[in-house]
Chain A
Amino acid sequence: MAFSRWLRSNAEHYLLISAQDRIAHQHGARSPNPPRGLREFFWLRIFAPVYRALPWPLRHKIMLTMPGSHRRQWAAPPRAHGSAVPPRLRAHESN
């Protein structure tokens, strides 16, 4: 498995568990199990807090440096430009 896939797979999995814990407390819902073993302790007690402490622009930049489809060409979402009805036909603008 490539490093980027390994990192994404683990980071995504444990950041979700960390988020589930926080959201569960907010909603009074069932929390995930606490970490068991060194591996879970590292990802949940060290990686997740460090990730959260970084500012979003830095986190985002790191994410986008990973190889993936996002680094190829994708069109920006189309934007509406003015009314679909020409201004000369719009009654409230001709008054």
Chain B
Amino acid sequence: MARRIVVVGGGAAGMGAAGGVKAVDPDCQVTVYTGFDDVAYSPCGIPYVHGKEIDSFERLFLASKQAYVDAGIDVHYNAEVTEVDVSRKVVSVAGEGEVSWDTLVLATGFNYADPGVPGGGLGGLYYVKDIREAIEWDKVLDTVKSAVVVEASPLGVEMVTALAHRGIETHLVDPSPWPMSEVADPDIMEPVEESWRELGVTTHFNTTLKAFRGDDRVEAVQTSEGEIKVDLAVICTHKEPNNALGVAAGLKVGSTGGFIVDERMATSAPGVYAAGDCTEIPNGLTGVPLQGLTGSHAYAQGKTAGINAAGGSRAYSAVYVPWGTAAGKWIIGGASLGETTATALGIPYVVGTAQGISRARYYPGVKPVKVKLLAEPGSLRLLGAQMVGGEGIKERADFLAVAIKFGLTLHDLASMENVYSPAIGALNEPIVVAAQSGVDASRKS
């Protein structure tokens, strides 16, 4: 009899899991339960449609519903899984009753942290998540004159940029001193803030949200520094693991609140796997678990969970977290530790920085690229990287994450070869120059 696998959640992790199952054993019965109208679209693309860089939400869909039918993946839309019983191996689905499984994959994703202030029930508070709601909110944006983005998380940074591109008077309220301050360093974010000023964005850092004000809809936000009149508030608080279903079933969670998993994405309950934002994954350098990574992490974790749930064998690795996004007129990115996070952990480091260019200096479209590398004093093994520039940030972040994973040193990077071709790369690769700068700095210290 075919193995029956239930997947709870239809995001990147859930659909990755379903695909992983079918890749191992096409005869497996896979049922995916999602609380939404759709699966297989890119929620990460939503800010770019709001900002008009992408002309249609349709472009965000990756596959049709029929494609999953054809692949033998049974997706139940608008389906709420209300309970998981690990001992009886059943899930309870609203309107369907109990559904049995041989293996279960929880890919329940995240919830935005509650801002925890009065007025949270008002209209006009936008939580960016579901594409159908985003389509409706996009119509609202046509009527909005001013908006506030609450917290400069990665999504917040993207939404500030998107609203400003759209010509909306945009405010950003954040309790920290600079944007994405939990990840990025101030020298990396300074050009972003400058470009926001050019776009007309008003930033309110070191400012705490106190309340949403209004009768039925938000009309203003009260902050520690005064009131800001707005027509809309976009809530971009940090992502908390949506773990309620699994916790109620007795699954163990770690210090982040994410499900504890191993390299097979197996949870503490036999036959139950988990993937994506509802889990926590150890950082490859420090061993400290992290929760709330990127869509590409969620998808790869889902694949791993699905393959193992179907009887295959795949191991996921500890993470070195390459990251990046568009912010204002710049691209920012990095991998593993920055100066702020290394300092918070108390990890000593030396720094090498370089201000370089993305193409030959004479080639049209050449853009600045700033690279900052952190390395362990003495061995000069790479600990992290942060960058800001006009292009080529993503590729460098991906490469530097692998360099950290394999223990490369600043000496290795200072002598690395690089592509030189005027249209795509400069003679002096900024990574090489930054690494040499770090080597020189370590000799002086």
The answer to whether residues A29 and B187 also contact, given A4-B254, A16-B182, A70-B282 and a CB cut-off of 8 A, is: yes
The answer to whether A19 touches B254, judged by C-beta atoms less than 8 angstroms apart, is: no
* Inter-chain contact B262/A69, CB cutoff 8 Å: yes
B315 engages A75 (CB within 8 Å): yes
Interface residues of A in 67-90 (CB under 8 A from B): 67-75, 77, 79-80
Task: Classify the secondary structure of B's interface with A.
Answer: loop
When C-beta atoms are compared, the residue in chain A nearest to B252 turns out to be: A67
CB of A30 closer than 8 Å to a CB of B? yes
Contact with B257, one of A5, A26, A31 (Cβ below 8 angstroms): A5
**What's the nearest-Cβ distance from chain A to residue B87, in Å?**
21
Chain A neighbourhood of B116, CB < 8 A: none
Binary contact track A20-63/B, C-beta < 8 Å → 1, others 0: 10111011011111000000000000000001101010011001
List which B245-294 residues lie within 8 A (CB) of chain A.
252-258, 260-263, 279-282, 284, 286-289
Residues from chain A with a CB closer than 8 A to the CB of B67 are none
Q: Which 6 A-B pairs have the closest CB atoms?
A: A68-B254, A29-B186, A19-B344, A72-B262, A19-B343, A8-B255
Tell me the smallest distance from the CB of A89 to a CB of chain B, in Å: 21
A69 contact from B289, B341, B406, Cβ within 8 A: B289
Near A by CB (< 8 A), chain B positions 180-202 give 181-182, 185-187, 190
Q: A79 CA to B288 CA in the complex, in Å?
A: 22
With a cutoff of 8 Å between Cβ atoms, the chain A residues found around residue B339 in the complex are 23, 26
- How far is A4 from B288 in the complex, measured between Cα atoms in Å? 13
Interface residue ranges of B312-348 to A (CB < 8 Å): 315, 317-318, 339-341, 343-348
Enumerate chain B interface residues (CB-CB to A < 8 A): 176-178, 181-182, 185-187, 190, 205-206, 252-258, 260-263, 279-282, 284, 286-289, 315, 317-318, 339-341, 343-348, 405-406
Q: A8 contacts which of B206, B256, B261 (Cβ < 8 Å)?
A: B256
Residue of A nearest to B342 (CB): A19
**Is A66's CB under 8 angstroms from B255's CB?**
yes
By a CB distance below 8 angstroms, the chain B residues around A5 are 253-257
A68 neighbours in B (Cβ, 8 Å): 254-256, 260, 280, 282, 289
| Residue among A15, A68, A75 having the largest count of chain B Cβ atoms under 10 Å | A68
Partner among A15, A27, A33, A77 whose Cβ is within 8 Å of the Cβ of B345: A15
Residues in A with CB closer than 8 Å to B280 are 68-69
Nearest B residue to A48 via CB reads: B344
When distances are taken between beta carbons in the complex, the residues of chain B under 8 Å from A77 are: 284, 317-318, 405-406
Residues of B with C-beta under 8 A to A52: 346
Given A30-B178, A75-B317, verify A69-B344 contact (CB < 8 Å): no
Contact A20 B252 (CB under 8 A): no
Which listed residue, A7, A31, A66, A73, touches B263 by the CB 8 Å rule?
A73
| Shortest Cβ distance from residue A30 to the other chain B in the assembled complex, whole angstroms | 4
Please determine whether B263 and A32 come into contact, CB atoms closer than 8 angstroms.
no
Selected contact of A75 from candidates B185, B186, B263, CB within 8 Å: B263
Inter-chain contact B186/A27, CB cutoff 8 Å = yes
Bound-complex Cα distance A75 to B176 (A): 36
* Given A73-B262, A74-B317, A75-B315; A23-B281 close (CB under 8 Å): no
Question: Do the beta carbons of B254 and A23 come within 8 Å of each other?
Answer: no
30 contacts between A and B (CB under 8 A): A2-B253, A5-B253, A7-B255, A8-B255, A16-B181, A16-B340, A20-B176, A20-B186, A20-B340, A23-B339, A23-B343, A24-B177, A27-B186, A30-B177, A30-B205, A32-B177, A56-B348, A66-B255, A67-B254, A67-B260, A68-B289, A69-B289, A70-B254, A70-B282, A70-B288, A72-B260, A74-B262, A74-B282, A77-B284, A79-B406
